[in-house]
Structure 1
Amino acid sequence: MDVSIVVPLLNESESLPELIDWIARVFKQENLVGEVCLIDDGSTDNSWEIICQLKEKYSWIKAIRFLRNYGKSAALQMGFQEVSGEVVITMDADLQDSPDEIPELRRMILEEDFDIVSGWKEKRYDPITKTIPTKIYNAATRALSGIKLHDMNCGLKAYKLDVVKVIEVYGEMHRYIPVIAKWHGFGKIGEKPVIHQARKYGSTKFGLERFVNGFLDLMSITFVSRFKKAPMHFFGTLGSLSFLTGTISALWLLIEKVYLSINGLPIDREVTEKPLFYLALTAVIIGTQMFMTGFIAEMVSLNQPDRNDYHIKSRIE
């Protein structure tokens, strides 16, 4: 199969017929053998009825309906499990992503050998309350991940089939699929400027909380990607620094008191009356707790079934 299209959706009954007809025209024009996997993420409108009608018209449609709304990450992960095309393309169902981009995205994967090609909406038709936070979020993600993409969260992306079969998308990590893929060893990530169209039907399903959640998810994926296999490297380093800082401070106070006593100099305050003593004591306690957290995290990691689950690119026997 040439291409698989994964489309997560929530209450998009108005846009679905136009989207599927558009994809069908592209398949026909480019002579592509493909499939479209629609993931209904708990819609409360008549989206599922529309999907059933479309299935009667187009045999290459696959569809899954969630019992309730689980989120875009869950929908994408389910779609990735179902598809089988050599190139997998994701797009939103709101008609803001253009199916006309499919042939070029597919070509970049096959001919330029990218693992992932991410869309870049150079000209956006979103309100400023969405575009400004998005720019900040993308800048932070580039800085922390080292992946130089202008639009990390663009829903229009293309993947090699191997990529979607290896990565796991959960929580709200759909924003960071390139980061997850790079973590798994798929480091050739490209970018393509794509057409972004104004929303034709309905309204956005994401509120301002997405930016707070996005930042927290970025912290989470950065930590996990670096320290999942060896959490002691993180907690142990911070714990050791805190413990040493506290110990050195306490020793300094003790040496100072001994020096003053030996030389018969007046001692203005006892060691336990100085703020530095309590700061040193706090640092020692925090350092010990961080170190113990590292040990516990290592024990948890040792019991993970996928601790030694390494993805092999090739094998000779």
Structure 2
Amino acid sequence: MNISVVIPLLNEKESLKELHDWIAKVMQSNHFSYEIIFIDDGSTDGSWETIQELSAKNQNIKGIKFLKNFGKSQALHAGFEIAYGDVIITMDADLQDNPEEIPELYSLITKDDYDLVSGWKKKRYDSIFAKNLPSKLFNWAARRTSGLKLHDFNCGLKAYKNQVVKNIDVYGEMHRYIPVLAKNAGFKKIDEKIVKHQARKYGKTKFGMERFINGFLDLITIWFISKFGKRPMHLFGALGVLMFFVGFLAAGYIGVTKLIKLYDGTPAILVTQNPWFYISLTTMVIGTQLFLAGFLGEIILRTKTGNTRYKISDTLNLN
């Protein structure tokens, strides 16, 4: 199979038939063999029934229905698990991603041998203050942190080699950072392509301003995991040593000043009345706790097992 198109969705009933017809037309005109994988992330508007109707007419359609809304990352993870195409294309279901981009994205993966090509919506039709400006700030921070020189990390339209999606773990809300996950997994050939962005035709966006706050928190998380995910003791142990060293110096200072006062005959105050005592005590306790955090992190890392992050209520054509 040439191409798998993975489409996560939530309450996009109105756009599904038009999107399907558009994708099918592009595939047929380019003589691609393909599958379209719809992942219904807990829709309540009848989206799943529409997917079932489309599947009855087109056997290239596969579907997964979640019991409830688990999030876009979990939907992509489920789609990646069952995708068989040599090239995987992801896009949103709201018709803002243009299926006409698929042939060129396919060519970049197969002929130019890129591992991942991310779409760049250079000209956007979103609200300037609600999405454009926060998105620019978000992408700037992602570039600085990850070292990847991409303009639009969060664009839903991306193309991947099959081995990329099979070797990355998209969890939590990390769908924003799939290029970073791919880079951390060892895939080097990552680039971007300017793609057409279209105004939303039906419904309204499912994302608010809070997604950018969550995005920055996730950025910190993925930076930490990429740097110290396999060696948490290197971070917590180093901080623990630093704090313990500060505490040791503070305790040494208390001891030296007390000896000097005894030598000079100056009345010495109680140790507990010296503020350096509390500095020493606090930093040593914090240092010990950081060491324990590092040990616990190492233990968890070595004993963790896979967890199911979503529940599926129904499927289509997965045999």
Structure 2 length as normaliser, TM-score? Answer: 0.91
Match of 2:80 in 1: 80
Match of 1:134 in 2: 135
What SS does the aligned partner of 2:219 have? helix
Q: Residues 169-248 of structure 1: matches in 2 within 5 Å?
A: 169-248=170-249
Which shows bigger deviation, 80-89 or 276-285?
276-285
Unpaired stretches in structure 2, ≥5 consecutive residues = 307-319
Contact conserved, 1:120 with 1:191, CA < 8 A, in 2? yes
Match of 1:35 in 2: 35
Q: Deviation per CA, 1:116-164: give whole Å up to 9, x if none.
A: 1111111111112222221221111111211111111111110000011
**Residue identity opposite 1:22 in structure 2:** W
Once residues 77 and 297 of structure 1 are traced to their aligned partners in structure 2, the CA distance between those partners, rounded to angstroms, is: 25
Q: Residues 45-194 of structure 1: matches in 2 within 5 Å?
A: 45-127=45-127, 128-194=129-195
Match of 1:295 in 2: 295
What SS does the aligned partner of 1:89 have? strand
Which shows bigger deviation, 205-214 or 157-166?
205-214
Structure 1 residue 52: Cα displacement = 1.8
What SS does the aligned partner of 1:166 have? coil
Once residues 284 and 106 of structure 1 are traced to their aligned partners in structure 2, the CA distance between those partners, rounded to angstroms, is: 57
* Percent identical residues: 56
**Residue identity opposite 2:300 in structure 1:** V
Structure 1 length as normaliser, TM-score? Answer: 0.91
Q: Taking structure 1 as reference, are residues 74 and 305 closer, same or farther at Cα in structure 2, changes over 3 Å only? A: closer
What SS does the aligned partner of 2:145 have? helix
Query: Relative contact order (alpha carbons < 8 A, sep ≥ 6): 1 or 2 greater?
Result: 2
Which shows bigger deviation, 214-223 or 156-165?
214-223
Structure 1 residue 276: Cα displacement = 3.0
Which shows bigger deviation, 206-215 or 184-193?
206-215
Once residues 296 and 88 of structure 1 are traced to their aligned partners in structure 2, the CA distance between those partners, rounded to angstroms, is: 38
Structure 1 residue 270: Cα displacement = 4.7
Q: Deviation per CA, 1:41-84: give whole Å up to 9, x if none.
A: 11101211211222233221111111211111111111111111
**Residue identity opposite 1:101 in structure 2:** E
Once residues 21 and 283 of structure 1 are traced to their aligned partners in structure 2, the CA distance between those partners, rounded to angstroms, is: 64
**Residue identity opposite 1:106 in structure 2:** Y
Structure 1 residue 264: Cα displacement = 4.7
What SS does the aligned partner of 2:38 have? strand
Once residues 192 and 263 of structure 2 are traced to their aligned partners in structure 1, the CA distance between those partners, rounded to angstroms, is: 70
**Residue identity opposite 1:117 in structure 2:** V
Match of 2:312 in 1: none
Once residues 157 and 300 of structure 1 are traced to their aligned partners in structure 2, the CA distance between those partners, rounded to angstroms, is: 33
Once residues 124 and 135 of structure 2 are traced to their aligned partners in structure 1, the CA distance between those partners, rounded to angstroms, is: 11
**Residue identity opposite 1:51 in structure 2:** I
What SS does the aligned partner of 1:63 have? strand
What SS does the aligned partner of 2:67 have? coil
**Residue identity opposite 1:7 in structure 2:** I
Once residues 213 and 50 of structure 2 are traced to their aligned partners in structure 1, the CA distance between those partners, rounded to angstroms, is: 34
Once residues 304 and 45 of structure 2 are traced to their aligned partners in structure 1, the CA distance between those partners, rounded to angstroms, is: 41
Unpaired stretches in structure 1, ≥5 consecutive residues = 307-317
